[in-house]
Structure 1
Amino acid sequence: MESPPENVSKPVVPPDTAESRTLQFDFTWRKFKGLISEVNDPEAKPLYIVSWHAFKRPQMRFKSPTTAAAPAAAVTTTDDDDDEDAAYMGSGTFHNFSINADYEVRGRSGTLTAQKRFKTVYTYPSYAFSDTDQAVTMTWTSSSGFKTWDFVCMDEQQMPVARFSANVWGLKKLGLIDFMGPHAMSDAVRDEIVVTGLTLFYCMVLRSSSITSFFAAAFSQPSR
């Protein structure tokens, strides 16, 4: 089986930025769902609810209790969820014979494309970080330690804009999502980072635990 890929070079995240925000990712075993909320107000209503469907695509589904109702076409993809007060926000889809992962954020689809076979370097087209109507290319990398598995998102200038620090040994508190830089307070950026970051995290978990994913990586043709 494939061991957790490491990044090419560990990104340095600035300790102090003009703007920042942090979300916490908790898991509820009773409902088998993930809850994402503001770290400074953990008792508040979750910003996102994440559910898993191992045998049905998309495998990851994101709902937002604080948003208006989603278009009917989008809601039909999550009609088996029981979060009546939550609106569909996005999804993550994994493939048995590909190390890429597909995602959707508020009706806009994209692909997390692997740039390396055995190292965590993924790119995706971002509209939330773009100042025009054209997408910009964002890059996710990772580094792992004994307690945490860090995923860092960088812009086209290779400056860190977000980080998901997964708690390797956590059973309920699964990690923190940090946002930094001029887009840190953008709700569109928050949506995009939550979906792409968690989709990539579980993609890498699958790659690390599946012999099928190992051979998919071995015979893949990473994007140039």
Structure 2
Amino acid sequence: MDSSSEEIPSHMAIGQSRSLAVNFMWSKMHIYVTDYEPKNPNPKLVYDVNCDMLAPNLKFKSIEQDRQVGTGTIHAISISPDFELHGSKGTLRAKSRLRTMYTHYSHVYSDTGKPAKMSWTSSSGFKTWDFVCCDENQNPVAKFSANVWAVKRFAKIELLGPKALDTAAMDEIVVIGLTLCYCMYMRVNNPLNLLGSAIMRSGKDAYIEPPQAQPTQPTQPAQGKIID
């Protein structure tokens, strides 16, 4: 076959972008994040996310790094979830009672040494939720599109901009993006979160701890696959 006719994986396409697919396995209480390759029946597994009723509710394992890279914790009343990313704890802070507006601080997207303030906004319909993450200059760095009625392939994550192929940036977007999506799902289905929205303190800012030292990467990355 002529190499020019072969399909180029989405994350290797020209331009700074990478796409990931998010698949829910409700029977196993797991979320599998793979490379977004619709024509490939066995795409590469990138993250294995364990879902739990107890905190932390989401535990993110990177298959390539062969270790847990983060967690997400949803609260019964508060609509501002907590996360942990490579050992640094932070808060994804709700900025509006009625609209989906969240902020978090990032070390990965900072160019000054100080945490960069990132923002998440959403346009939602009856079937889909579309989240966009922007940096301090309001440049989009990620898009998260979720189909709330999907049985299996739940969402698509697109990483954009100069850090689209950066592993640390991907870890951050996957951990915080899925934590936000899980939080929004709980807000819709949990009456107590309506109370949390009503008593939310406006103006309170997000926070994040200083970055922690990173463990040594494995010399031979582990290979993963989805188990049906």
Q: Decide: shared fold, TM above 0.5.
A: yes
Match of 1:116 in 2: 96
Match of 1:20 in 2: 17
Q: What is the one-letter code of the residue matched to 2:155? A: G
Output one character per residue of 1:67-121: Cα deviation in whole Å (capped at 9) or x when no partner.
Answer: 14xxxxxxxxxxxxxxxxxx21110011122111100111111100111111111
- Partner secondary structure for residue 47 of structure 1: strand
Q: Residue 29 of structure 2 contacts residue 52 of structure 2 at CA under 8 Å; is this kept in 1?
A: no
Q: What is the one-letter code of the residue matched to 1:162? A: A
What TM-score does the superposition give when structure 1 sets the normalisation length? 0.80
Q: Residue 99 of structure 1 contacts residue 114 of structure 1 at CA under 8 Å; is this kept in 2?
A: yes
Match of 1:135 in 2: 115
Aligned pairs (5 A) from 1:162-173: 162-173=142-153
Q: Residue 62 of structure 1: which of 56, 60, 65 is its match? A: 60
The answer on 1:217 being equivalent to 2:215 is no
What TM-score does the superposition give when structure 2 sets the normalisation length? 0.78
Aligned pairs (5 A) from 1:201-212: 201-212=181-192
Q: Residue 113 of structure 1 contacts residue 223 of structure 1 at CA under 8 Å; is this kept in 2?
A: no
Q: Structure 2 CA distance, aligned partners of 1:213 and 1:169?
A: 21
Q: What is the one-letter code of the residue matched to 1:174? A: F
Point out where structure 1 has 5 or more consecutive residues left out of the alignment: 1-16, 69-86
Q: Residue 34 of structure 2: which of 30, 33, 37 is its match? A: 37
Aligned residues: 190
CA RMSD of aligned residues (A): 1.8
Greater mean alpha carbon deviation, residues 91-100 or residues 189-198: 91-100
Q: Structure 2 CA distance, aligned partners of 1:42 and 1:160?
A: 30
Q: What is the one-letter code of the residue matched to 2:20? A: L
Answer with 1 or 2: which has the greater Rg.
Answer: 2
Match of 1:53 in 2: 52
Change (3 A) 1:30 1:210: closer
Q: Structure 2 CA distance, aligned partners of 1:31 and 1:216?
A: 30
Match of 2:9 in 1: none
